[in-house]
Structure 1
């Protein structure tokens, strides 16, 4: 009679299957299996993180550019100062560094977060990216998500819910104004002069 598999053995089997799915370009399936494996054995959490980074890299703005904030899991763009971004990068880098993470996805995931960090840690590159990102989303942008073989568009409202971007105020020229999507339209508001349009 066969012995029941231990939780660690079950998790290892799921990870082996996840690695095979990743090799076959089924990243979503790999992430799902790794998520279940990490519930059984937390030592496999880094595999899940690596797959999630690859999934985030598949999400692009409608101009085809990768959303570097999504790669690093930075959600509140207005409060995302250099230190916040650096801390998030370090946390993820420790998890997906190929010396620590034995997943076939680790090397690629590390390269993806390194590229995102390169853009977001350099003031001029970040400012240029923020401008392109805001312009893309302002033009009716959506976020393209690759599922299986065909890219699919999320609807505009769900993709931009709670999104806000730093912009220059058209009244006082302050850099601290905010562009956000509210009630099915773009709204610019400035904390300094109180202007809103």
Structure 2
């Protein structure tokens, strides 16, 4: 039993070393090894949870943190389960109780996830950005149209440049066409998003011609 405890302590020390080197996967693996060797070793479940949050924080979606992964939840989760999971993780990660290296950072990430996802409007906007990116990267542009909202004019629609995120309003004949962004000049697919106009939008934009390469430009 003593040998197991000593080996577990060595594994814990290696876990902390890997974390400081920003090898979060390696850190969690060593922490799991220490926990398996000596389940009664103090603070191991907290260490595993802490390093797991850092692993999740490295998975970005369109440059944004994946807050669902940080909380260990599916995007379809309802608010009651979201709250329950947040409370559980907050207890595990709070720096007053968790002495693991990096616990304060993990707690901040979980708190940030809760603050965004517990706000219905912020969560809706975040989910729209997630799903828009998922549809764009998978090539499933038509699926994104389910996020359409009613517009003031039925002959126009709102879309967004996937590079600089500036919004545009176009005639409906441009839906799913390859367009050139006025702001960054990047090419994007005019997927109908249904997003409400925000700062940095171009209402009712039009184009003058379509060149041979099929990209509509100003």
1:25-46 Cα shifts (integer Å, max 9, x gaps): 1111111100111112334121
**4+ residue runs of structure 1 moved beyond 4 angstroms?**
167-170
1:173-196 Cα shifts (integer Å, max 9, x gaps): xxxxxxxxxxxxxxxxxxxxxxxx
Structure 1 match to 2:67: 68
Q: What's the C-alpha RMSD, in Å, of the aligned pairs?
A: 2.3
CA drift at 1:139 = 0.3
Name the CA distance, whole Å, in 1 between partners of 2:10 and 2:32. Answer: 13
Structure 2 match to 1:185: none
Gaps of 5+ in 1: 142-155, 157-164, 171-197
Q: Is residue 11–residue 30 contact of structure 2 (8 Å, CA) maintained in 1?
A: yes
Name the CA distance, whole Å, in 2 between partners of 1:118 and 1:58. Answer: 19
The answer to whether residue 9 in structure 2 is matched with residue 12 in structure 1 is yes
Name the CA distance, whole Å, in 1 between partners of 2:45 and 2:6. Answer: 15
Structure with more contact order per residue of length (Cα contacts < 8 Å, sep ≥ 6): 1
Gaps of 5+ in 2: 150-218
1:130-163 Cα shifts (integer Å, max 9, x gaps): 000000101015xxxxxxxxxxxxxx9xxxxxxx
- TM normalised by structure 1 equals 0.66
CA drift at 1:168 = 4.6
Alignment of 1:175-186 (within 5 A): none
Aligned length: 142
Structure 2 match to 1:104: 101
The answer to whether residue 121 in structure 2 is matched with residue 116 in structure 1 is no
Name the CA distance, whole Å, in 2 between partners of 1:65 and 1:169. Answer: 22
Kindly name which structure, 1 or 2, has the bigger radius of gyration based on alpha carbons: 2
Name the CA distance, whole Å, in 1 between partners of 2:82 and 2:136. Answer: 27
CA drift at 1:8 = 2.8
